[in-house]
């Protein structure tokens, strides 16, 4: 379905991808470079100013606008600086100035990467957290990042939640402690840049070598409550955040896949 911009004065009518259909203006087959250029013009910025604002060189931005670069790591910053919808910028779907946010729980097809097929321009490959046994084979485990696994994730979903690509990672929920919210085996996405506790939000923890998913609540004297949504089977726990046995916060869980 074509992308329709409903605010005529922000669209370059001379653009070959756009034509007027009634009062709206319809833009067809726009590339990421086209959308970046349109977003920059909407913000009234030249290439040098936008490049400086997002921390890259002007030639790099020029290459992105011309389609000579497939890099999409800066789309979140570009959308923020230019005041446009990040999902539109990354995928071309929706409207340029759409501000509608979606629910935190949403259904989408997750693709676990196990081959060498190139990433699309609107995707990023996230490292995964896994539990692995120590080499001594004594049954003890440790939480490691990546370990040869990764998952493809749409940049637009990171943009909607304000998560920088370099801070994003994924994991797989294990067990039923967070049901019905997060099912056993559900893929989750983690923002490693958010390790401060926001009461009631869900976090991924490295707890003695175990990967745990819990709601956290701050308590006095450096303690924290760990709460499971399946409270009938998993009573809440209280732990100190200090000492070698304390749970270590990996990051906030900002997305998970929902199973029916």
CATH of domain 111-256: 2.10.109.10
Q: How far is CA 66 from the centre of its chain?
A: 26
Q: What is the CATH number of domain 3-91?
A: 1.10.260.40
Residue 186: φ, ψ to 5° = -75, 135
CA distance 147 to 149: 6
With contact defined as beta carbons under 8 Å apart, do 130 and 122 qualify? no
The pTM for the full model equals: 0.59
Give tens-digit pLDDT for 124-183.
Answer: 888 898 887 665 555 677 888 876 678 888 877 787 778 888 889 999 898 899 999 999
Domain layout of the chain by residue ranges: 3-91, 111-256
- pLDDT, mean over the chain: 77
Check if the beta carbon of residue 201 is closer than 8 Å to that of residue 215: yes
Using left for φ > 0, alpha for ψ between -120 and 50, and beta otherwise, residue 205 falls in beta
pLDDT in tens, 24-36: 334 457 888 899 9
Query: What are the φ and ψ backbone dihedral angles of 42, each rounded to 5 degrees?
Result: -60, -35
């Amino acid at each position: 379905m074509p992308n329709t911009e409903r605010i005529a004065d922000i669209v370059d009518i001379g653009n070959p991808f756009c034509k007027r259909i009634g009062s709206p203006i319809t833009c067809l087959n726009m590339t990421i470079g086209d959308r970046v250029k349109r977003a920059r013009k909407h913000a009234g910025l030249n290439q040098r100013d936008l490049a400086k604002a997002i921390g890259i060189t002007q030639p790099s931005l020029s290459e992105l606008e011309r389609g000579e670069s497939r890099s999409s790591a800066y789309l979140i910053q570009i959308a923020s600086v230019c005041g446009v919808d990040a999902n539109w910028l990354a995928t071309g779907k929706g409207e340029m100035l759409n501000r509608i946010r979606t629910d935190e729980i949403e259904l989408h097809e997750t693709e676990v990467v196990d081959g060498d097929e190139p990433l699309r321009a609107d995707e990023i490959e996230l490292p995964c957290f896994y539990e692995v046994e120590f080499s001594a084979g004594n049954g003890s485990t440790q939480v490691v990042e990546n370990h040869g696994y990764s998952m493809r994730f749409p940049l637009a979903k990171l943009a909607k939640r304000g998560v920088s690509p370099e801070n994003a990672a994924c994991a797989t929920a294990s067990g039923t402690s967070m049901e019905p919210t997060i099912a056993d085996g559900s893929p989750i996405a983690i923002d490693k840049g958010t390790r401060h506790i926001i009461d009631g939000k869900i976090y991924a923890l490295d707890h003695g070598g175990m990967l745990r998913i819990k709601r956290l609540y701050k308590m006095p004297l450096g303690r924290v409550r760990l709460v499971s949504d399946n409270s009938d089977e998993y009573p809440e726990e209280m732990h100190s955040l200090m000492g070698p046995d304390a749970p270590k916060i990996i990051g906030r869980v900002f997305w998970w896949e929902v199973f029916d």
